[in-house]
Structure 1
Amino acid sequence: MTDGMWNYGTEAGRLPGVDLTGWRVEACDGHIGTVDRHSDEVDDSCLVVDTGAWIFGKEVLIPASAVTSFDLEEQAVHLALTREQVKDAPEFHSDKHFADRQYREEITQYYRTGGPFSGGAGAI
């Protein structure tokens, strides 16, 4: 599946090879968690964010194009998503992400219709 949503934008400044595991993740309106896993694969780049106690330990999949910048000094990833958009995102299930195309499409649809790709407030 080729979809620009699943690639880092050049303006984000992603440095390939840098392990983001454990980095802080900041929505545009506050802290949301830490990077649990990430992928730099072409057309499948994403972050799996552990939201911790903030939303009861839920992990969410964030498409790479939602990343606005990386702060190497602070080890932080900044997103073009609000805390509410992250909170409402479908829960990440690793067994489905890689094997279930319908699940992947649900996530894509969420970010297109309820997230920053919908063209509404916070669109990137």
Structure 2
Amino acid sequence: MKNIWTYPADVGYQGHEPLTGFTVETPDGTLGQVERQMNEPGRQHLIVDTSVWVFGKSLLVPAGIVRAIDTASRTVTVTHARDEIKAAPRFSFDSQTTEAAYLTEVDTYYAGLGQPAAL
């Protein structure tokens, strides 16, 4: 699998424009809004507020599952379904998202999912 912690080259995102407030779309609906982002090389990810459909929960979305970024519509589109992202290792603001053990757990989870069937 590709590097889950780096935006795919075909997305064309260099990390210069903030994505905070962008809506995150999955193949099966809206996931939520970007609350925070990490652009450190090798650890790029988004923290998405899912209060739209999961009250009070935030999820970590690795940059590697981003399929497209539309700055005009302020939308980030990801490759995996909401339930797959929801089932990923639990994100908590109490723990640091840069902890190696947590990032390894997330990496292993998405590697186990493989590539989505169709986009």
Aligned to 1:91: 90
Identity of counterpart residues, as a percentage? 32
Higher helix share: 1
- Whether 1:106 and 2:102 are equivalent positions in the alignment is no
Inter-partner Cα distance in structure 2 for 1:55 and 1:102 = 25
Please list every run of 5 or more consecutive structure 1 residues that lacks an aligned counterpart in the other structure.
Answer: none
When residues 37 and 55 of structure 1 are mapped into structure 2, their CA distance, relative to the original with a 3 A threshold, is same
Inter-partner Cα distance in structure 2 for 1:30 and 1:67 = 15
Aligned to 1:65: 64
Secondary structure at the aligned position of 1:61 is classed as: strand
**Alpha-carbon RMSD:** 2.0
Kindly state the Cα deviation for residue 86 of structure 1 after the two structures are TM-superposed. Answer: 1.6
Moved more, 7-16 or 17-26: 7-16
Inter-partner Cα distance in structure 2 for 1:34 and 1:8 = 18
Aligned to 1:78: 77
Per-residue CA shift, 1:22-53, capped at 9, x if unaligned? 11000112111000111222111111111114
Which 4+ residue blocks in structure 1 deviate beyond 4 angstroms? Answer: none
Q: TM-score, structure 2 length as denominator?
A: 0.86
Kindly state the Cα deviation for residue 15 of structure 1 after the two structures are TM-superposed. Answer: 4.3
Kindly state the Cα deviation for residue 88 of structure 1 after the two structures are TM-superposed. Answer: 1.1
Inter-partner Cα distance in structure 2 for 1:107 and 1:69 = 21
Inter-partner Cα distance in structure 2 for 1:53 and 1:8 = 25
| Structure 1 segment 1-124 matched on structure 2, within 5 A | 4-94=3-93, 95-98=95-98, 100-113=99-112, 115=113, 118-119=114-115, 121=117
Q: Which amino acid aligns with 1:16?
A: G
Q: TM-score, structure 1 length as denominator?
A: 0.83
Inter-partner Cα distance in structure 2 for 1:81 and 1:120 = 6
When residues 32 and 108 of structure 1 are mapped into structure 2, their CA distance, relative to the original with a 3 A threshold, is same
Inter-partner Cα distance in structure 2 for 1:72 and 1:91 = 28
Inter-partner Cα distance in structure 2 for 1:40 and 1:69 = 16
Kindly state the Cα deviation for residue 84 of structure 1 after the two structures are TM-superposed. Answer: 1.2
